[in-house]
Each structure stands twice: as structure tokens, then as C-alpha cells.
């Protein structure tokens, strides 16, 4: 998979690309992640990318020209162009799985007051990570890319994703490690039994119980 991210603040992605699982995925060539400053595509002598909005109003609006030209330069027949915006569809695990099957993703990270509306015309999807507003689309794009990259074949053990929270619209089951008794809190006996069928049964029951308690809205979809 190839991922291109358009942003005004490429330095924000340094840690994202150079730590932990994402770093290993890039080094092992499961994914290619490129960060582009769309100021580089501006026709303005001073690399200006924003201007005042027609009709007045607060803040600056991102101009269409730099973003259109950047997408034109990067897009192929395999590309899915994704606009990061609080007005977009809320990102879910199903969307992560869907996008993990694509060959090329282009993310557009906005800043300032918003996008010129015409930028939406070149996008295949508009995504949000929740009903709140951040200073820009960089952090949401990192979260979404992380969610997608971990699903790529070879990046992490398949068993680690099979029972993820939100798989089958259920939350994950509780997990424990050593010691078996910590400050009077004991690991459930079934996990120490070595009886794999009983362990799987307990885990499934705990998934359902936890989801009912914490996210009853997911049970209706399950």
C-alpha cells in the first residue's frame, strides 16, 4: 500500500513515521508513507495557500489551486482521495478494513477556517474521527492511517486483530498477565485452566457482557 498525506505541517508526522509498528511496517515495505507540504504546489511567489472567504466571516480559507495541483500530481487510477473534515463520515473499524484493501490513499489535512468548497469535488471520501474540532487534520489522519496500516498482511500477527474491539461490533475481552494475584485481585480461574474451549467460551461471554455494559448501541448492530 502507498499513502500520501498533504499537509501544511509535515514535521508533525516525524514521530508517527519513525516509531513502533508504523516504522517497522515502512522498513519492511508493507506500506510506503509520503508526506507532502502542499505549499510546494502553490503558484503564489510566497507559497500562499489561504485567503479571506468571500462574503466575510472569521478565519482564513484554504485555496483550491495548491490542493488541486497536489492531488493531480499524485493521483493514479488506484487512488482514493480522502478529505479530513469534522463534517465527514465518522471513521469506524469497518472503514479501516475497507481502506486496508486499497492500493493507494491520499489524505488531505486542512487547517485554518476550512476548505474552499470546490476542493470536495476531487475527493472520494470525507472522514472525521468524532464530533469535535481540532486545529487541523493531521492528528486525525495519523489515527486513521495507524488503524489501517495495522490491518495490512504481515504488519502484526493476524490473531492480534481477529478479536479487536469493534470486530463484529463487540468490544474486546479482558486480558491479564503475571502475577496471577496482584494486591488481592486474581486472574479468572478459567484462564489458568489450560482448557482452550472453556477459555474461548469465557472470552466470548465477556465480550458480550462488556459491550452490553459500556456500548449497548453496538449490541443492536451485532
Question: What CATH number did the domain enclosing 121 receive?
Answer: 3.40.1280.10
DSSP codes joined into one string, 143-196: HHHHHHHTTSTTTS-HHHHHT-TTGGG-PPPP---S-SEETTEEPPGGGGS--H
* Domain co-membership, 48 together with 90: yes
- For residue 90, is pLDDT > 60? yes
State the helix-helix crossing angle for 138-149 and 20-27, rounded to 10 degrees: 60
Number of domains in the chain: 2
* Domain co-membership, 143 together with 193: no
* Domain co-membership, 53 together with 122: yes
Cα 91 to Cα 17, 111, 171, 202, distances in angstroms = 21, 19, 16, 30
Question: What CATH number did the domain enclosing 175 receive?
Answer: 1.10.1270.20
* Domain co-membership, 11 together with 37: yes
pLDDT band at 112 (very low <50, low <70, confident <90, very high): confident
- Position 58 scores a pLDDT of 87
What is the domain range of residue 197?
A: 163-221
Select from 61, 168, 45, 55 the least CA-distant residue to 116.
Answer: 61
* Domain co-membership, 207 together with 115: no
* Burial degree of 212 (CB within 10 A; 0-12, 13-18, 19+): middle
Beta bridge mates, 18: none
* Domain co-membership, 143 together with 34: yes
What mean pLDDT is predicted for residues 143-158?
A: 94
pTM > 0.85? yes
**Mind telling me the catalytic residues?**
86, 113, 150, 164
* Domain co-membership, 195 together with 152: no
DSSP codes joined into one string, 91-120: P-HHHHHHHTT-SEEEEEE-BTTEE-GGGG
**DSSP-derived 3-state class of residue 131:** coil
- Position 169 scores a pLDDT of 86
pLDDT tens digits along 163-205: 566 768 899 999 999 999 999 999 999 999 999 999 999 999 9
* Domain co-membership, 212 together with 127: no
* Domain co-membership, 113 together with 93: yes
Mean pLDDT over each residue of the chain, to the nearest integer? 94
* Domain co-membership, 47 together with 132: yes
- Position 162 scores a pLDDT of 64
Select from 159, 100, 125, 137 the least CA-distant residue to 8.
Answer: 137
- Position 57 scores a pLDDT of 85
- Position 164 scores a pLDDT of 64
Domain-ending residue, one of 157, 178, 195: 157
- Position 81 scores a pLDDT of 98
Q: How far apart are CA 5 and CA 194, in angstroms?
A: 46
* Domain co-membership, 42 together with 81: yes
Amino acid at each position: 500500500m502507498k499513502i500520501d498525506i498533504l499537509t501544511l505541517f509535515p514535521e508533525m508526522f516525524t514521530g508517527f513515521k519513525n516509531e513502533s509498528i508504523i516504522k517497522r511496517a515502512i522498513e519492511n515495505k508493507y506500506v510506503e508513507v509520503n508526506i507532502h507540504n502542499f505549499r510546494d504546489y502553490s503558484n503564489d511567489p510566497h507559497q500562499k495557500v489561504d485567503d479571506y472567504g468571500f462574503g466575510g466571516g472569521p478565519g482564513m480559507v484554504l485555496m483550491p489551486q495548491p490542493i488541486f495541483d497536489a492531488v493531480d500530481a499524485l493521483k493514479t487510477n488506484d487512488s482514493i482521495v480522502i478529505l479530513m473534515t469534522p463534517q465527514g463520515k465518522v471513521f469506524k473499524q469497518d472503514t479501516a478494513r475497507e481502506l486496508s484493501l486499497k492500493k493507494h490513499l491520499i489524505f488531505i489535512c486542512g487547517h485554518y477556517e476550512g476548505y474552499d468548497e470546490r476542493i470536495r469535488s476531487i475527493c472520494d471520501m470525507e472522514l472525521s474521527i468524532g464530533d469535535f474540532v481540532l486545529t487541523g487534520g493531521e492528528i486525525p489522519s495519523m489515527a486513521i492511517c495507524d488503524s489501517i496500516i495495522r490491518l495490512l498482511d504481515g504488519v502484526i500477527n493476524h490473531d492480534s486483530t481477529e478479536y479487536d474491539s469493534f470486530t463484529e461490533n463487540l468490544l474486546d475481552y479482558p486480558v491479564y498477565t503475571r502475577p496471577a494475584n496482584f494486591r488481592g485481585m486474581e486472574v479468572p480461574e478459567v484462564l489458568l485452566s489450560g482448557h482452550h474451549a472453556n477459555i474461548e467460551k469465557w472470552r466470548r461471554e465477556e465480550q458480550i457482557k462488556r459491550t452490553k455494559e459500556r456500548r449497548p448501541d453496538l449490541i443492536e448492530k451485532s
